[in-house]
Amino acid sequence: MDYHKITLGSKSFFSLVIFTILIENSSWTVFGVNGDWGFESTVEEIENHLSHASTHHGIYDLQVREDDDWQMVQKQGNQFVVNDQPFYVNGFNTYWLMVFAADQSTRGKVSELFHQASSAGLTVCRTWAFNDGQWRALQTSPSVYDEEVFKALDFVISEAKKYKIRLILSITNNWDAYGGKAQYVKWGKAAGLNLTSDDEFFSHTTLKSYYKAHVKTVLNRVNTFTNLTYKNDPTIFAWELMNEPRCTSDPSGDTLQSWIQEMAVYVKSIDAKHLVEIGLEGFYGPSAPDRAKFNPNSYATQVGTDFIRNHQTLGVDFASVHIYADSWISQTISDAHLQFTKSWMEAHIEDAEKYLRMPVLFTEFGVSAKDTGYNTSFRDTLISSVYKTLLNSTKKGGSGAGSLLWQLFPDGTDYMNDGYAIVLSKSPSTSNIISLHSTRIATFNSLCSTKCKWGCKKKTPLEEFLYHDDL
């Protein structure tokens, strides 16, 4: 046979810029990013391994049948699964999709972004399902919604499905951007409540009722493009209770813990099908003093969050962690950022396996171009380091379930850039690293089964490709 193409997911990742697979005279050759590694194997050898896998582990090919594949993401132990196949994640953040979709002049950027992300093999996007009382607000006042903006969110979800991208939807913000808890407090004050702190969002009965009403409205929304209720749509990967919740007024963590317990169960009472995560940055708190050494600074122990305790809450399905060495340690680029990133990730993966028995997703990570000493080479090194740490977990069947870059932008949106934006078309080296990791993850998801328990020890060329150390 002169030419073979393997389809992984719904896309041929092997045709990406990152590398090329050519099968000439029944042999495969894979060329890496720098051309410094490769393997050759007969087609028959690979097919024999796949045949072995099908006999013992329930895998029979790499072609994903699209209709069967688009099912809810679920959790089994410390892995995500879809149709009993592992679902390791390579994804990204673009928080402003709903706002862009609300304006016909910018709606096309949503499609453009999903197209570019899909071409790089990215499968999960995290974005906001809130805009509280701000410009182009979704929720203009408690339980009052702008239908046109809601239709924009409908569009984002329907468009994500077209490109086989699943969404983590965050329900509100700890920070003032897009309203968040500060806006809820403003609404409470306007209603005559005597409120003195934004942290009362977590404890005041009326403010909690505002939040619950928003949860109920969003989860029960019927998409005007697909006619699917959000709570029944497999395009939605998970609900996030809040972006980066903190309650600095109570460093014991009790106030935030109580809120998490109440809201996780409330979300599940409406939607038992979807996964739920908190949205935490991952700081260790009072319940785990021996883990505080992994925090980036002493202040991190005082913000009212408690990684292990918070994630042991009923209704929380997986752990979330953010990675911002340049914000937490120093805004001057150095190798200390890489060292921190590795130890931070390994500590949380260990906790997820040892104490939580759930997957952990690193839902934000990146480096700002505004940092002193920044260059794209360092960004590429940081991203590669994150991916390598995850692959080290993946190949052992560990809890390191994936990561989401902060953040991906399409062309022509530079005015929204916070310093962390990655435009794939303008960043070929970064795009190559992302695409290679996507291919490795997609191949692994296709080849392995949860029934296998990663017990197949046959070291084939394909496995060497998946687990190659040099990213």
> pLDDT (tens digit, 9 = 90+) per residue, 273-284?
999 999 999 999
Residue 36 has pLDDT above 90, yes or no: no
Domains of the chain: 76-449 (3.20.20.80)
Residue 85 in contact with residue 442, Cβ under 8 Å? no
State the catalytic residue, choosing from 244, 281, 353, 463.
244
Structure tokens at 382: 């940081």
Looking at residue 461, its pLDDT comes to 54
- Tally of CB atoms within 10 A around 368: 18
Looking at residue 444, its pLDDT comes to: 85
Where residue 46 falls among pLDDT bands split at 50, 70, 90?
A: very low
- pLDDT of 282 reads 98
Reported as a pLDDT band with limits 50, 70 and 90, residue 446 is confident
Q: Which residue has the higher pLDDT, 60 or 169?
A: 169
Evaluate if residue 77 carries a pLDDT over 90. Answer: yes
The whole-number average pLDDT for the span 363-381 is: 98
- For residue 433, what are the contacts with CB-CB under 8 A and spacing of at least 6? 18, 33, 380, 383, 384, 387, 471
DSSP state of 202: G
pLDDT in tens, 121-135: 999 999 999 999 999
452: pLDDT confidence band, cut at 50, 70 and 90?
A: low
User: Structure tokens of 159?
Assistant: 């468009």
pLDDT of residue 334: 96
Contact by Cβ (8 Å): 361, 401: yes
Q: Which pLDDT does position 337 carry in this prediction?
A: 98
Q: 108: number of CA atoms within 13 Å, CB side?
A: 3
Q: Which amino acid is at 299?
A: Y
Q: Is 111 exposed, middle or buried (0-12, 13-18, 19+ CB in 10 A)?
A: middle
Q: Is the pLDDT of residue 49 over 90?
A: no
- For the stretch 178-214, pLDDT in tens is 999 999 999 999 999 999 999 999 999 999 999 999 9
**pLDDT at 358 > cutoff 50:** yes
Q: How does DSSP assign 229-260, residue by residue? A: BGGG-TTEEEEES-BS---TT-TTSHHHHHHH
The number of C-alpha atoms within 13 Å of 334 and in the hemisphere containing its C-beta is 8
> DSSP letters of 81-142?
EETTEE--EEEEE-TTHHHHHTSHHHHHHHHHHHHHHHHTT--EEEEES--BSSTT-SEEET
Beta-bridge mates of residue 321: 362
The active-site residue, picked from 240, 281, 364, 463, is 364
463 is catalytic: no
Longest alpha-carbon distance in the chain: 78
Per-residue exposure over 69-92, b if at least 16 CB sit within 10 Å of its own CB, e if not: ebebbbbeebbbbbeebbbbbbbb
How many C-alpha atoms does 125 have within 13 Å on its Cβ side? Answer: 31
Instruction: Examine the pLDDT at 1 and tell me if it is beyond 90.
Output: no
Of 7-21, 127-141, 172-186, which range is least confident? Answer: 7-21
Give the per-residue pLDDT at 465: 57
Q: Is the pLDDT of residue 326 over 60?
A: yes
How far apart, in whole angstroms, are the C-alpha atoms of residue 404 and residue 242? 16
- pLDDT for res 468: 53
Decide if pLDDT at 27 tops 70.
Answer: no
Q: Which ranges of 332-406 does DSSP label H, i.e. alpha helix?
A: 335-351, 376-394
Q: How long is the chain?
A: 471
Query: How does DSSP classify residue 223?
Result: P
The residue among 273, 275, 278 whose CA lies nearest residue 241 is 278
Q: Give pLDDT tens digits for 204-258.
A: 999 999 999 999 999 999 999 999 999 999 999 999 999 999 999 999 999 999 9
Integer Cα distance of 77 and 91 in angstroms: 21
Residue range 301-330: average pLDDT?
98
Place of tokens 């990684």: 307
Active site (annotated) includes residue 244 = yes
Count the helix, strand and coil residues of the chain and give each as a percent rounded to the nearest 5. 45, 15, 40
Mean pLDDT of 418-441: 97
Asked whether 213 and 143 are in contact (CB, 8 A), the reply is yes
Closest CA to 405 of 113, 152, 112: 113
Alpha helices for 163-284 (secondary structure H):
180-190, 205-219, 254-270
| pLDDT class of 2 with cuts at 50, 70, 90 | very low
> What is the percent of the chain where pLDDT is above 70?
80
For 253, 308, 353, the CA distances from 288, given in Å and listed in that order, are: 12, 7, 15
CA neighbours within 13 Å on the CB side: how many for 455?
Answer: 6
Residue type, 110: V
